[in-house]
Amino acid sequence: MQEEIFVTGAGVISAIGLGRQATLAALREGRDGIAPVRYLKTSRVEFPVGEVKFSNEEMCRLLGVPEAGVTTRTSLMGMIAAREALEQARLPGDGGERVALISGTTVGGMDKSEQYYLDFLENDSRNEYISAHDCGACTEMIADYFGLFSMVETISTACSSAANAIMTGALLLRAGRADVVVAGGSECITKFHLNGFNTLMILDREPCRPFDAGRAGLNLGEGAAYLVLESGASARRRGVVPLCRLSGYANASDAFHQTASSPGGDGAYLSMTGALATAGLAPGEIGYINAHGTGTVNNDLSEGLAIQRVFGERVPPVSSTKAFTGHATSAAGGVEAVISILALRHGFIPPNLRFSTPMPELSFAPAAGGSAAPRHVLSNSFGFGGNDTSLIFSKTD
């Protein structure tokens, strides 16, 4: 029996609000955060997005960091979410713990690079903004704000980055390389990937409709979320009450295509069954699935079929909360981990917004929401490169 991993803190910022309370209220009231572009400076205004409803200046004031600095939007959101998680976990404590920060980000500081871009292919000057671009640098900025971490790592696996950071956190604890891990991810919307997703022709011009027969793509979102992970012994020693357990995790490769998911969802099937195996759970024990559910034709079909392969005739309530938040790319797995924990602790199923027509290929329809008492929640996060991760959060009692 491997040592159990407990979640003792959670922090989040996304299109539906700053903090756990605002997030919970929005989920329960069915209030989404998808809206026309307001903060990003772009001409691509035809695509609705899930922006965090704060300017960089406002976030600087919230954090007490200088407004004129080089701090990227990705870092600012990361600091806000990590601060909430650390406060809940009562960190920094009175010392002694080796605390690691594992953060997922891919586009990193691209917002500043876009603002101050110098062509570093032709020109050798690599000014402070360009070095902020480096996705490792965004994690360093978050770490420096707290000055708490003995180890800092950035994981970059596209849209499963934050989920992989959380999985890596559990592995670190089990290997004894850290006593406490702050794990999650942060990513702001940039012109860079708004255009990139547009060239892939997977952006919906309307608010997205995950798992609907008429779905037409995703809405880009942004945000940050972190969990504090530690062993039971560590939580007891520090006198903090766990929110839940991180009972299962697995990552698998779809090994099919650079961006598209395989028709049968091979990687997704392996990540879900792998997570169930680490948790020692049968499929029937899962009470809610927070799906990756981007709203693209390809993902929702592939993921839906994989869910059917794992759960057979008895598919638990499934919803994609990306209809609330948009697709926060590298941060999505973190945001959805926090949402999964809220569902677990407050006994409800977040609704799959804007669903009207079932997909003919699937035997199940997404959940309409309502009260429930899931004991185990499974959260899927899949990234380009066929990088598929599933996490399972379980009640402590």
Partner 1 sequence: MDELILNLKREIIEVLNLEEVKPEEIEDDAPLFGEGLGLDSIDALELIVLMEKNYGIKLSDPAQGRELFKSIRVMATYIRDNRKK
Partner 2 sequence: MGLVIRKYSYINDRVASVDGRAIPVPAGEEKFLTALYRARRVDYPRFFKMDALSKLGFLASELIFEGDASRFTPRDHVAILCFNRSSSLESDAAYQATIRHGEEYFPSPSLFVYTLPNIVTAEIAIRNRLHGETAFYVLERFDPRALVGRVGEAFQDAATRAVLVAWVESFRDSREVFMMLVEKNDTIFDLPFSVESIVELLNRGRNG
Q: Which stretch in 5-13, 334-342, 344-352, 377-385 sits in contact with partner 2 by CB under 8 A?
A: 377-385
Binding of partner 2 by 385 (CB under 8 A): yes
Q: CA Rg, the chain, in Å?
A: 19
Binding of partner 2 by 383 (CB under 8 A): yes
**CB closer to partner 1 out of 197 and 211:** 197
> What does the DSSP 8-state code read for residue 363?
S
> How many other CB atoms are found less than 10 A from the CB of residue 382?
32
Can the peptide bond before residue 92 be classed as cis, meaning omega within 30 degrees of 0?
A: yes
Binding of partner 2 by 91 (CB under 8 A): no
Site track for partner 2 across 8-47, x = CB under 8 A:
----------------------------------------
Residues 250-269 that bind partner 2 (CB under 8 A): 250-259, 266-267
Site track for partner 2 across 200-229, x = CB under 8 A:
x-----------------------------
Residue from 387, 391, 393, 394 touching partner 2 (CB under 8 A): that is 387
Residues with Cβ within 8 Å of 65's Cβ and at least 6 positions away in sequence, in order, are: 71, 76, 79, 145
**CB closer to partner 2 out of 160 and 352:** 160
**CB closer to partner 1 out of 63 and 297:** 297
Selection from partner 2, partner 1, none that 172 binds (CB < 5 to 8 A by kind) is partner 2
Tokens of 243: 């929110």
Site track for partner 2 across 165-184, x = CB under 8 A:
---x--xx-xx-x-------
Q: What are phi and psi of 273, to 5 degrees?
A: -70, -35
**CB closer to partner 2 out of 33 and 333:** 333
Selection from partner 2, partner 1, none that 311 binds (CB < 5 to 8 A by kind) is none
Q: How far is CA 120 from the centre of its chain?
A: 31
**CB closer to partner 2 out of 25 and 120:** 120
**CB closer to partner 2 out of 39 and 384:** 384
Residue of 300, 327, 318 lying closest to 222 (CA atoms) = 327
- Write out the residues near partner 1 by the rule CB under 8 A: 199-201, 257-260
Selection from partner 2, partner 1, none that 251 binds (CB < 5 to 8 A by kind) is partner 2
Beta strands 370-371 and 348-349, pairing class: antiparallel
Q: Would the CA dihedral through 19, 187, 211, 309 be positive or negative?
A: negative
To partner 1, the closest distance from the beta carbon of 298 in angstroms equals: 9
Binding of partner 2 by 150 (CB under 8 A): no
256/198 Cα distance (integer angstroms): 22
> What does the DSSP 8-state code read for residue 140?
H
131/210 Cα distance (integer angstroms): 37
Residue of 53, 65, 39 lying closest to 147 (CA atoms) = 65
Q: Give one DSSP letter per residue of 294-354, joined into a string.
A: -S-HHHHHHHHHHHHHHHTT-PPPEE-THHHH-B-GGGHHHHHHHHHHHHHHHTEE---TT
> What does the DSSP 8-state code read for residue 45?
T
The answer to whether 134 touches 360, Cβ cutoff 8 Å, is: no
For the annotated catalytic residues, the residue numbers are: 159, 292, 327
Binding of partner 2 by 164 (CB under 8 A): yes
Contact residues for partner 2, defined by CB under 8 A? 2, 106-108, 110, 113-114, 117, 119-121, 133-136, 140, 152-158, 164, 168, 171-172, 174-175, 177, 191-193, 195-196, 198-200, 250-259, 266-267, 270, 274, 277-278, 383-387
